[in-house]
Amino acid sequence: MATELEMLPEMSLNVLWKGMNKLKRILKNLIKNQFLNVKNILIFLAFLIILYSSIPLPNPLFPPDYSPTVLDEEGKILRVFLNNNQQWCLPPRQDLVVPEKLKKAVLCFEDRHFYRHPGVNLFSLLRALYQNISSGKVFSGASTITMQVARLMYPKERTYFNKILEISQSLKIELHYSKEEIFQMYLNHAPYGENIIGYQAASLRYFQKMPEQLTWAEAAALAVLPNTPGLISPLTNRQQLRAKRDRLLKKLLDKSIIDQEAYQLALLEEVPDTSKSFQMFAPHLAQFLKARAREKSPIIRTTIKKEIQQRVEDLVKQHLSYLDRLGIHNGAALAVETQTGKVRAYVGSQDFFDKTSQGQVDGVRAARSSGSLLKPFLYASSIDEGIILPQILIKDVPTFFGAFSPNNANEKFNGMVPAKEALVRSLNVPAVRLLYTYGIYHFYHLLKAAGLTTLFRTADDYGLPLIIGGAEVNLWDMTVLYRGLANGGKFRPLQIVEDSERLEESSTLTSLISPGACYLTLNMLRELKRPGAEYYWEQYQNQWPLAWKTGTSYGQRDAWAIGVSPQWVIAVWVGNFDGEGNANLAGASCAGPLLFDIFNSLPKDPQQSWFEKPVMELAPLEICQDTGFLAGDHCEKKIIVEAPLSMKPIKICHYHQSIYVNKNQTHQVCSLCWKPDQYKRISRLIYPPDVVQHLRERGQVISSVPPHSPDCPAQAESLALQILYPQNNTRLWIPRGFDGNWQKVTMRVAHRERSRVLYWYLDDRFIGRSKDRHVKAAELTRGWHVLEVVDEIGNRDHKRFYAAMKNNLP
Ligand SMILES: [Zn+2]
Ligand SMILES: [Zn+2]
């Protein structure tokens, strides 16, 4: 033991001589009594050989009960958990070398001849034997580091037999392991007081440092601790610990391992009196990974970058301390590298230890209503399907799908809006109409294939509200989806554990959305105005553009903001974990500023400020400037835009139609009524009647189509369209059917041109359209009704009638 070793310099030759003499006398006596003959020596040797070969040496020497430890990409510790014995015992790490200061202090204190002896120091053993015999004590001391490893394997009582066992084990250990391995085993399993095992945990908990940052004083304190680990806590023991440390420092000075100045400085340092908690980064992620990976290896190396993690954690905390005053208590964020998919920051809540606001909930994994977050994928895929281009007009008028009638957030309609504007302003009605055209099943399966894991219900069950927040999503999946958009429609899992195998290589993965459509969509999302003109990022925007989208769930329970650049995918959620709504909650104003603060804080490459245009994937296309559809013969202005090469053909503009008019353009004419050289063909933009009606209601002047010439020998213009049934001011008797329900009434219209599409409105509510055969069945309630029918070029008729319910009673 070290205490004996310490006394070595003081031991005089005299004492040694006395001991040798005593030993000689014992041997002499043994020989005189004929005890030490050849036979007995052989028996003794045989006994030793049997003993040695029967010594058990477990493999591994120590049961692998280590603290699960979560590391960042570079090996920095993010979080440590207790092991099964409720101890802090960090797993041995291949990538860590024992720092020089600690190594020198430990060797100087415990075992100066460690590198020279075969596991046992014979000289100090004999000396200790003599001292113990002469003082009548149980065998102690003279343990080498190897012998201590043997004892740490199985802590045993200090008896002569156990000492012999330890010696044998030590010799065996030396045969099986290198000196470096033995030294590390000692340091990794020595007790350091409290429930701290091993130098790594001791360094972190007593000094809040990695071992390589220890000072001489700290290294010396750690060197002496395993000897008497009890010295750490009580105040009185602290002085003993200090004295012990200082003695070792003196020895280091005497051996010229440290110089006088270092020695004096070291003496000034305090010794620790208690341990402190580990610092914690990405605690939610660590918890998640620990639950998954405990059996495999105690070391979990993640893709997190500690500095980025820390910065994002600070920003989330900062923003939430402001939002907290508005009654918004929780927030989460994720920052992922666009190209590699490696997660660099994972913030599950504003504060893991915030008990009042459920800080332990992991907001990255919590499923919440998506708000408008799914819209960009519908728009992008609709481009591939040839349904839209960014310039194509989508109807934004009151719309009914059965009982479902979507409304825009500001409860206003815009008549006709280009797809790009509809997406940037996140209008609900155009998005629902688009989903209706695109197909709910088709979209549902696209989302699942892209990596959305929270669609637990059927497509039918979600229905059209899916696109405006009808489904729940989580921050993790949304990051997968937006990253896919940034990677040309290739959707891949994110990477969070450093050594995990990559599931799919990008080269073998097909694009779910074409790179061209993704690029056009990202360009649309780039136009979204950044929150608040007062922010400095208005100027910043041009240098570091970001394609971003916000989402606010129904009832203002969730605010989302997700942004993508060629380098980063950043996703932010704020709200309340308990689901409480808040009138202040909105994606752009609550989640947006945090998103941009995170984006601004991340490292960027000036060579990669915006996505590279997929030149080979885009081709020029001539479209109608007014409507965005493929330019037709009647379109007045045409422009060339870029469209994905692989997209399905888009429709020819059907809003521009040509009509024949008289010279003054006051009347339409036809071959029956035009006069030679007194007519011309003009092109007119003719919106569908529901749009026209909506715009007219809002007081907008619509360039209308002139009426047909009254001089025309053909049917009068008023008769172009006529409601045949019901007639004006009539009473309809509505009987019950066989099923007991009121029967539907079939209404009829005649139109001069059969191919015209008619739009039907009952009491100002759109009830459907008809073509070729103009009949429509409707359920009526008791009372007055107005039926109005309009065709595409504005011809209309309306009838007012009364519905009476006829009971089938006599
Ligand atoms: Zn056109
Ligand atoms: Zn005519």
The number of the ligand nearest the C-alpha atom of 652 reads 1
**pLDDT (mean) for 589-601:** 92
Q: How far is the CA of 749 from the centre of ligand 2 (A)?
A: 21
Please tell me what DSSP assigns to residue 81: -
- Give the burial class of 587: count Cβ atoms within 10 A of its Cβ; 0-12 exposed, 13-18 middle, 19 or more buried: buried
Write out the residues surrounding ion ligand 2, Cβ under 5 A: 670, 672-673, 712
Q: How far is the CA of 63 from the centre of ligand 1 (A)?
A: 78
Q: How far is the CA of 689 from the centre of ligand 2 (A)?
A: 22
> Is there a cis peptide before residue 726, judged by omega within 30 degrees of 0?
yes
Q: Up-side HSE of residue 296: CA atoms within 13 Å toward CB? A: 13
Q: How far is the CA of 693 from the centre of ligand 1 (A)?
A: 20
Give, in degrees to the nearest 5, the angle at Cα 630 between 629 and 631.
105
Q: How far is the CA of 241 from the centre of ligand 1 (A)?
A: 89
| Separation in Å, CA 225 to CA 111, 218, 270 | 15, 11, 15
Q: How far is the CA of 753 from the centre of ligand 2 (A)?
A: 13
**pLDDT (mean) for 322-332:** 94
The number of the ligand nearest the C-alpha atom of 716 reads 2
**Are residues 336 and 568 in contact, defined by beta-carbon separation less than 8 angstroms?**
yes
53 catalytic per annotation: no
**Are residues 419 and 441 in contact, defined by beta-carbon separation less than 8 angstroms?**
no
Range of 13-27, 126-140, 357-371, 494-508 with top mean pLDDT: 357-371
Amino acid at 564: V
pLDDT, position 273: 77
Catalytic residue among 67, 110, 349, 617: 110
Residue 593 to residue 583: CA distance in whole angstroms: 18
User: Between β-strands 568-575 and 558-564, what pairing exists: parallel, antiparallel or unpaired?
Assistant: antiparallel
User: Average per-residue pLDDT in the chain?
Assistant: 85
In DSSP terms, 621 is beta-bridged to 641
Residue 387 to residue 382: CA distance in whole angstroms: 5
- Comparing CA positions, the residue from 187, 184, 213 lying closest to residue 198 is 187
pLDDT at 803 > cutoff 80: yes
Residue 593 to residue 535: CA distance in whole angstroms: 9
Q: How far is the CA of 696 from the centre of ligand 1 (A)?
A: 21
* Neighbouring C-beta atoms of residue 230, cutoff 10 Å: 13
pLDDT at 97 > cutoff 90: no
Element (H, E) at 337: strand 330-337
User: Between β-strands 730-735 and 796-806, what pairing exists: parallel, antiparallel or unpaired?
Assistant: parallel
Q: How far is the CA of 649 from the centre of ligand 1 (A)?
A: 16
**Are residues 376 and 420 in contact, defined by beta-carbon separation less than 8 angstroms?**
no
**220-223, Cβ contacts within 8 angstroms, sequence gap of 24 or more:** 220/105, 220/109, 220/245, 220/248, 220/249, 220/252, 220/266, 221/245, 221/271, 221/272, 222/102, 222/105, 222/106, 222/192, 223/102, 223/105, 223/106, 223/108, 223/109, 223/110, 223/248
* Neighbouring C-beta atoms of residue 266, cutoff 10 Å: 22
* Neighbouring C-beta atoms of residue 345, cutoff 10 Å: 27
The number of the ligand nearest the C-alpha atom of 653 reads 1
Q: How far is the CA of 716 from the centre of ligand 2 (A)?
A: 9
**Are residues 799 and 726 in contact, defined by beta-carbon separation less than 8 angstroms?**
yes
Give, in degrees to the nearest 5, the angle at Cα 205 between 204 and 206.
100
Q: How far is the CA of 750 from the centre of ligand 1 (A)?
A: 29
pLDDT, position 492: 92
Give, in degrees to the nearest 5, the angle at Cα 724 between 718 and 728.
85
| Separation in Å, CA 135 to CA 161, 435, 761 | 19, 93, 113
The number of the ligand nearest the C-alpha atom of 672 reads 2
Q: How far is the CA of 674 from the centre of ligand 2 (A)?
A: 7
**Are residues 737 and 743 in contact, defined by beta-carbon separation less than 8 angstroms?**
yes
Of the pLDDT bands very low, low, confident and very high (cuts 50, 70, 90), residue 36 is: low
Residues 6+ apart with CB under 8 A from 221: 206, 241, 245, 271, 272
The number of the ligand nearest the C-alpha atom of 667 reads 2
pLDDT at 1 > cutoff 50: no
pLDDT, position 17: 64
pLDDT at 672 > cutoff 70: yes
User: Between β-strands 343-347 and 196-197, what pairing exists: parallel, antiparallel or unpaired?
Assistant: unpaired
**DSSP-based three-state secondary structure for 613:** coil
The pLDDT tens digits for 601-626 are 999 998 888 999 999 999 999 999 99
Residue 556 to residue 368: CA distance in whole angstroms: 12
pLDDT, position 421: 94
Residues 6+ apart with CB under 8 A from 671: none
Place of tokens 């934004």: 396
Q: How far is the CA of 629 from the centre of ligand 1 (A)?
A: 7
**Are residues 651 and 392 in contact, defined by beta-carbon separation less than 8 angstroms?**
no
The number of the ligand nearest the C-alpha atom of 623 reads 1
pLDDT, position 502: 54
Query: Between 637 and 240, where is the model more confident?
Result: 637
Q: How far is the CA of 189 from the centre of ligand 2 (A)?
A: 103
**Are residues 223 and 106 in contact, defined by beta-carbon separation less than 8 angstroms?**
yes
pLDDT, position 142: 67
- Torsional sign, CA 177, 182, 185, 189: positive
Q: Which of the residue ranges 79-83, 135-139, 219-223 would you say has the lowest mean pLDDT?
A: 135-139
User: Between β-strands 299-301 and 69-71, what pairing exists: parallel, antiparallel or unpaired?
Assistant: parallel
**pLDDT (mean) for 251-270:** 91
Residues 6+ apart with CB under 8 A from 369: 469, 470, 471, 472, 473, 553, 554, 557, 558
The number of the ligand nearest the C-alpha atom of 626 reads 1
Q: How far is the CA of 703 from the centre of ligand 1 (A)?
A: 15
pLDDT at 742 > cutoff 50: yes
* Neighbouring C-beta atoms of residue 117, cutoff 10 Å: 20
**Rounded percentage of the chain residues whose pLDDT exceeds 90:** 45
Query: Residue 135 corresponds to which tokens in the numbers above?
Result: 């003082």
Residue 771 to residue 789: CA distance in whole angstroms: 12
Residue 374 to residue 398: CA distance in whole angstroms: 22
**pLDDT (mean) for 558-569:** 96
Q: How far is the CA of 669 from the centre of ligand 2 (A)?
A: 5
Of the pLDDT bands very low, low, confident and very high (cuts 50, 70, 90), residue 739 is: confident
HEC per residue, 738-792:
CCCCECCEEEEEEECCCCCEEEEEECCEEEEEEECCCEEEECCCCEEEEEEEEEC
The number of the ligand nearest the C-alpha atom of 637 reads 1
Query: Between 692 and 629, where is the model more confident?
Result: 629
Of the pLDDT bands very low, low, confident and very high (cuts 50, 70, 90), residue 141 is: low
The number of the ligand nearest the C-alpha atom of 714 reads 2
**Rounded percentage of the chain residues whose pLDDT exceeds 70:** 89
- Comparing CA positions, the residue from 338, 280, 289, 281 lying closest to residue 312 is 281
Q: How far is the CA of 770 from the centre of ligand 2 (A)?
A: 25
The pLDDT tens digits for 54-80 are 677 777 888 888 999 999 999 899 999
The pLDDT tens digits for 752-773 are 666 778 889 898 888 888 887 8
Query: Residue 166 corresponds to which tokens in the numbers above?
Result: 């330890």
Q: How far is the CA of 683 from the centre of ligand 2 (A)?
A: 18
**DSSP-based three-state secondary structure for 801:** strand
Alpha-helical (H) ranges within 136-178 are 145-153, 160-176
Phi-psi region of 142 (alpha: psi -120 to 50; beta: other; left: phi over 0): left
Amino acid at 4: E
Residue 583 to residue 555: CA distance in whole angstroms: 8
Residue 371 to residue 471: CA distance in whole angstroms: 8
The number of the ligand nearest the C-alpha atom of 629 reads 1
Phi-psi region of 441 (alpha: psi -120 to 50; beta: other; left: phi over 0): alpha
Q: How far is the CA of 666 from the centre of ligand 2 (A)?
A: 13
pLDDT, position 4: 41
User: Between β-strands 721-725 and 618-624, what pairing exists: parallel, antiparallel or unpaired?
Assistant: unpaired
Q: How far is the CA of 634 from the centre of ligand 2 (A)?
A: 21
| Separation in Å, CA 439 to CA 221, 432, 462 | 71, 10, 12
pLDDT, position 790: 87
Q: How far is the CA of 628 from the centre of ligand 1 (A)?
A: 7
Q: How far is the CA of 391 from the centre of ligand 1 (A)?
A: 12
> Is there a cis peptide before residue 60, judged by omega within 30 degrees of 0?
yes
The pLDDT tens digits for 448-465 are 999 999 999 999 999 999
372 catalytic per annotation: yes
Catalytic residue among 124, 168, 357, 372: 372
Query: Residue 387 corresponds to which tokens in the numbers above?
Result: 């349904």
Query: Between 700 and 115, where is the model more confident?
Result: 115
**pLDDT (mean) for 323-347:** 95
In DSSP terms, 786 is beta-bridged to 800
pLDDT at 333 > cutoff 80: yes
**DSSP-based three-state secondary structure for 253:** helix
Q: How far is the CA of 718 from the centre of ligand 2 (A)?
A: 12
Query: Residue 694 corresponds to which tokens in the numbers above?
Result: 């909506």
Length of the chain: 810
pLDDT at 124 > cutoff 80: no
**pLDDT (mean) for 423-440:** 94
The number of the ligand nearest the C-alpha atom of 673 reads 2
- Comparing CA positions, the residue from 588, 587, 580 lying closest to residue 555 is 580
**Are residues 340 and 73 in contact, defined by beta-carbon separation less than 8 angstroms?**
no
Query: Between 506 and 87, where is the model more confident?
Result: 87
Residue 97 to residue 180: CA distance in whole angstroms: 10
- Torsional sign, CA 284, 285, 290, 292: positive
The number of the ligand nearest the C-alpha atom of 624 reads 1
pLDDT at 11 > cutoff 60: no
| Separation in Å, CA 220 to CA 146, 268, 789 | 20, 13, 95
